[in-house]
Amino acid sequence: MLPDLTKETQFVRANTALLTAPLIPEIRLFLASEISPIWQATEEELAAKNLPPPFWAFAWAGGQALARYLLDHPAKVSGKRVLDFASGSGLQAIAAMQSGASRVEAVDIDRFAVAALCLNAKENGVKIDVALEDYIGRENAGWDLVLAGDVCYEEPMASRTITWLRMLAASGATVLLGDPSRSYLPKSGLERVISYAVKTTRELEDTDVRNAIVWQVSAEA
């Protein structure tokens, strides 16, 4: 059961616009635009209002690569039970449902992300089971496919996540990680699946394009 997220939902609506991510024109998301207040807010301003950084307001390069891969390869997801970990905007979860997954669970620990991903799922006409919880360390609850988009950007979250993803891979799940060479991407125990050039902005990534790779995470490092 989700808590009451009325305030967070209002905040998402007030601070975003319905847009598409460059690599995924078929999915509309409530995202920060260059004219939305959240784009202009500094980290200090957000901290002063006790707000976490709005990761959910952007479709990150790693997540876009993962979503593109699922949309272009529906056989990899069709009929599968899917977990989208650290879902943010929910882009990969929506792509998985649109590609024929039998069920998608999306989890994030940020109340605003959960509000945004519920709005985004509704906007795209898909049903996703959403949880506001830290799933790291949980046993495989029947997931055939586990998705993790852009999760190697800070420690200790990255190490905890990778250790757990390897445990899920050992349990028999296919685990896919979308990543544009973030600082804490593991150096081994990954198999390259596909890569995409993802258009981004200098304000967000310091560059106009990032090469994002979809990796399959192995059980062993």
Ligand X SMILES: C[S@@+](CC[C@H](N)C(=O)[O-])C[C@H]1O[C@@H](n2cnc3c(N)ncnc32)[C@H](O)[C@@H]1O
User: Closer to ligand X at the Cβ: 152 or 169?
Assistant: 152
First-to-last CA distance in the chain?
A: 35
Of 8, 12, 97, 110, which one interacts with ligand X (CB under 6 A)? 110
Return the axis-axis angle of helices 111-123 and 91-98, rounded to nearest 10°: 30
Reading the block at residue 93, the tokens are 């979860």
Q: How far is the CB of 138 from ligand X (least distance, A)?
A: 10
d(CA 156, CA 175) in angstroms, rounded, equals 20
In this structure, how many other beta carbons lie within 10 angstroms of the beta carbon of residue 175? 26
- What the block records as the tokens of 142 is 């029947």
Taking the complex as a whole, how short is the minimal distance between the CB of residue 193 and ligand X, in angstroms? 16
Site for ligand X in 127-166 (CB under 6 A): 134, 136, 149-151, 153, 157
For residues 44 to 73, the per-residue mask of contacts with ligand X, x marking binding by CB under 6 A and - elsewhere, is -----------xx--xx-xx----------
Query: Is 180 a residue that touches ligand X (CB under 6 A)?
Result: no
Going by the DSSP 8-state scheme, the letter that residue 78 receives in this structure is T
Is the Cβ of residue 62 or residue 186 nearer to ligand X in the bound state? 62
Cβ proximity to ligand X: between 105 and 150 the closer is 150
Rounded to 5 degrees, what are φ and ψ at 142? 110, 15
Task: Please state the closest distance from residue 129 (CB atom) to ligand X, in A.
Answer: 15
Give me the least distance between CB of 27 and ligand X, in Å please. 12
Question: Which position has the token pair 């519920």?
Answer: 118
Which of 23, 38, 86, 121 contacts ligand X by CB under 6 A?
86
Q: Which residue is nearest to ligand X (CB)?
A: 63
Secondary structure of 40-68 in HEC code, one letter for each residue = HCCHHHHHHCCCCCCHHHCCCHHHHHHHH
Residue closer to ligand X by CB (options 91, 169) is 91
CB of 22 to ligand X, least distance (A): 13
Q: Which is nearer to ligand X, 133 or 208 (CB)?
A: 133
Q: Determine phi and psi for 192, rounding to 5 degrees.
A: -70, 130
Opening angle at CA 85, ends 166 and 183, nearest 5: 70
Distance between CA atoms of 172 and 174, rounded to whole angstroms? 7
For residue 156, cis peptide bond before it (omega within 30 degrees of 0): yes
CB of 37 to ligand X, least distance (A): 19
Contact residues for ligand X, defined by CB under 6 A: 55-56, 59-60, 62-63, 86-89, 91, 107-110, 113, 134, 136, 149-151, 153, 157
